Structure 1
Amino acid sequence: MKNKISFIISDITNKGGTERVTALLSNILSSNIENAEVEIFSLQKKHANPFYFLSNKISVKYGNGWRYYSLLSYLIFCKKNKHKVIVESMGRLSLECGILAKAIRLHDIYFHEHVGLNSFKKAIQLIKIFSYYMAKKVIVLTSHDYNLLTTKYGIKNVIQIPNINPFDTSNNIIKPYDQRENIVIAVGRFTEQKNFNELIEIWHEANIPNWTLYIIGDGPNKRILEKAIAGMSSIKMFKTTDEICNYYNAAKIYAMTSLYEGLPMVLIESQSFGIPSVAYDCPTGPAEIITDNVNGFLIPFKNRELFIQKLRKLTSDDNLSNIFSTNAIKNSRKYNADAIIHKWISLLGI
């Protein structure tokens, strides 16, 4: 008997954390589950192919035409063929799928929420909470969201499963910390959410000699950021790449000024390469990964002066940076695939 699993996502061809997680989870489930039949349904197709690697065991389908017709047609197909459906949601997708699944009496549907509930406006929060009753299970990334949903709202069908680190750093691919360059790295989509404009301002104010800030990504705000760094020789921008590990291996510090997150993959990834972080304690995620003054500095949200102070501290104190680096590697191990995949297998009952 086939174990049929379908992932629904807005656009698998995009370059971002949700797409990376979906590709990684699909690959791992397809190789770890006996008689697995894994499929990805992408509502949109902005680019020719998925950006992140997908095993040839995984089939990909794309929506065409009206959004809701595409979703409804695919959910009917999943019900008819007895698929377990996992909705990879950053906002409205779980609500849309929940309403349609309820209408056709599709019960084997799971919402995988990639953005913390508090990141949305109050009205949207209430709508999303309503939609959670339509799912068999709601998977959240952080203990913050788990406690919020179960305690404040009394939702019982919630489980916390963190993201899986896509990098296996156990095979000595990590470059020794003291052999790296004086690079601070930041990775992500060039959108308002990631707040790279403020990071650029912080870097300019910090004025740290002999250090360079690398910003790696792509997105709609690219030209705005290029204009912001014009004439600043200590900041370099690079396009998103599937060889991001080379940048992680060169850097000594990770900087994050996001306005909101879910459970930021980039912090997990960078920690696995022994990179200590300086990050705003935005809702939600950084506080789940960074232990302040142990593997990095967690800065109260929007406290720019303290951010600059701690950034200067890490760039000038090699002994502290090395201690943080060692602790970052240790902390990252709890996000290894072996530690997490069994939770998914148990959840899906396969």
Structure 2
Amino acid sequence: MNCLFFIHSMRAGGAERVTANLASHWVERGWEVTVVTLESREQDFYDLPLAVQRVDLNLAEESRDPLDAVINNLRRIAALRSVLRKIQPDVAIGMMSTAAVLLLLAAWRLSCVTIVSEHIYPPMIPLKPMWERLRRWAYPLAHRVVMLTIEGLDWLSEEIPKARGVVIPNPIPFPLHSSEPLIEPDSVIEQGRRLLLAVGRLDKQKGFDHLLQVFSHLAPSNPDWDLVILGEGPLRTELEFLARQLGLQERASLPGRAGNICDWYQRADLYVMSSRFEGFPNSLGEAMAHGCPAVSFDCDTGPRDIIRHNVDGLLVPNGDVAALKDALEYLMRDEKLRKQFAAKAVDVRDRFSLEKISEMWAALLNELQHEALESGS
């Protein structure tokens, strides 16, 4: 099998991590794999095996105005089409909405099977009007559109009924490998103190403003617990200011992005997800794979697919900060229950194993190749 991924970049992010995981797994199986990005590989966060062919188009510059945007996107389509003609993949996968649209346009009338892979619940991040129109036109051209959850598939069926959708969740690989930058937990949290951990991009989606407010109410009655939020993003200054405003300078830390995230999952006593929305949150699954009990807002979409309520974690109504506080305090004060949930949390290693999810992808690719042969396309 000759497979090509097209994605905006390989910076730190969920879709990027899935791309790296699948690409690495498939080359181990003897497949030919190419990863193509608009950004330069100099911006890559995830390492790829040498067997993975890496192509960077270096066409990610921002557009100055609508005409410039059209010209830039035509250049991207032409460059990607040239790569597709050269590599001649059996299957080309567009990771996330705009990259998928560009791929479908670039692959027009070429012989490869095309797949769209969405990595968020689309209603929560509406595209700009032009991209939305292009998505509605282009997605039916794809041989399949892969959604992460049933809710995502329902949205696709309602909004783009001619698109042919299927559900494949993200894999949750275990164990995780470390890479730069390294931040040792002991450099941030004193030994013997309890760690409430959150991981994600410092943006509005992740709801860390809510989490800091919740922890400010928990900290006085739980003096042996500290909060660490790992990640980077545009709201760093705002969140650091909020932490100071809430008097959490000594109890809440935002040390940055850690390439040794596995060390943090192993150090954590409890994991929390405060997101306003998700697609299929990798960090939640990874934390549970390392034996972290978890508390999460029951947001659209993903947490309810990963957490089994009252089995390996707790779900609370989306946006209900009082309920999030109560659930966290309940587990922070009950070590026995945390251990009980932790023992069940590791089931995600099998439920969403890289091998199992890869087989779902392989079955889909084989099905599509068979369909293509039958149709003569």
How high is the TM-score relative to the length of structure 2?
Answer: 0.81
Please point out which of 15, 18, 29 is paired with 1:18: 15
Please point out which of 91, 98, 116 is paired with 1:92: 98
Offset of residue 99 of structure 1 = 3.5
Q: Which residue of 2 aligns with 1:40?
A: 35
Q: Distance in 2 between matches of 1:305 and 1:127?
A: 41
Q: Which residue of 2 aligns with 1:343?
A: 360
Distance change (3 Å), C-alpha of 1:92 and 1:74? closer
Offset of residue 332 of structure 1 = 3.7
Q: Distance in 2 between matches of 1:140 and 1:181?
A: 40
Assess if the C-alpha contact under 8 Å between 1:63 and 1:71 holds in 2. Answer: no
What amino acid does structure 2 have at the position aligned with 1:236? S
Assess if the C-alpha contact under 8 Å between 1:184 and 1:251 holds in 2. Answer: yes
Offset of residue 181 of structure 1 = 4.9
After TM superposition, the structure 1 = structure 2 runs for residues 150-189 of structure 1, keeping only pairs within 5 Å, are 150=157, 154-155=161-162, 157-168=164-175, 181-189=193-201
Offset of residue 348 of structure 1 = 1.9
Please point out which of 115, 135, 140 is paired with 1:110: 115
Q: Which residue of 1 aligns with 2:76?
A: 70
What amino acid does structure 2 have at the position aligned with 1:199? L
Q: Which residue of 2 aligns with 1:30?
A: 27
1:296 aligns with 2:313: yes
Q: Deviations over 1:239-276 (max 9, x none)?
A: 21221010000101111111211100011101101111
Offset of residue 315 of structure 1 = 0.2
After TM superposition, the structure 1 = structure 2 runs for residues 1-350 of structure 1, keeping only pairs within 5 Å, are 3-12=1-10, 14-32=11-29, 34=30, 36-45=31-40, 48-65=42-59, 66-79=72-85, 81-83=87-89, 84-89=91-96, 91-102=97-108, 104-105=109-110, 108-121=113-126, 128-150=135-157, 154-155=161-162, 157-168=164-175, 181-207=193-219, 208-230=222-244, 231-232=247-248, 233-349=250-366
How high is the TM-score relative to the length of structure 1?
Answer: 0.87
Distance change (3 Å), C-alpha of 1:106 and 1:259? farther
Q: How many residues align?
A: 333
Q: Deviations over 1:253-301 (max 9, x none)?
A: 1111112111000111011011111111111111111122221111111
Assess if the C-alpha contact under 8 Å between 1:189 and 1:219 holds in 2. Answer: yes
Q: Deviations over 1:13-39 (max 9, x none)?
A: x1111111111111011111x3x2211
Secondary structure in 1 matching 2:141: coil
Assess if the C-alpha contact under 8 Å between 1:200 and 1:229 holds in 2. Answer: yes
Q: Distance in 2 between matches of 1:284 and 1:206?
A: 27
Distance change (3 Å), C-alpha of 1:54 and 1:189? same
Assess if the C-alpha contact under 8 Å between 2:94 and 2:103 holds in 1. Answer: yes
Q: Deviations over 1:15-68 (max 9, x none)?
A: 111111111111011111x3x2211111123x7252112101012111234343
Secondary structure in 2 matching 1:279: strand
Q: Distance in 1 between matches of 2:243 and 2:111?
A: 50
What RMSD over aligned residues (CA atoms) do the two structures have, in Å?
A: 2.4
Offset of residue 154 of structure 1 = 4.0
Moved more, 138-147 or 186-195: 138-147
Q: Distance in 2 between matches of 1:15 and 1:222?
A: 16
Give the unaligned 5+ runs of structure 2.
Answer: 60-71, 177-190, 370-377
Distance change (3 Å), C-alpha of 1:348 and 1:269? same
Q: Distance in 1 between matches of 2:57 and 2:235?
A: 27
Q: Distance in 2 between matches of 1:305 and 1:319?
A: 23
Instruction: State the percentage of identical aligned residues.
Output: 27
Give the unaligned 5+ runs of structure 1.
Answer: 170-178
Secondary structure in 1 matching 2:271: strand
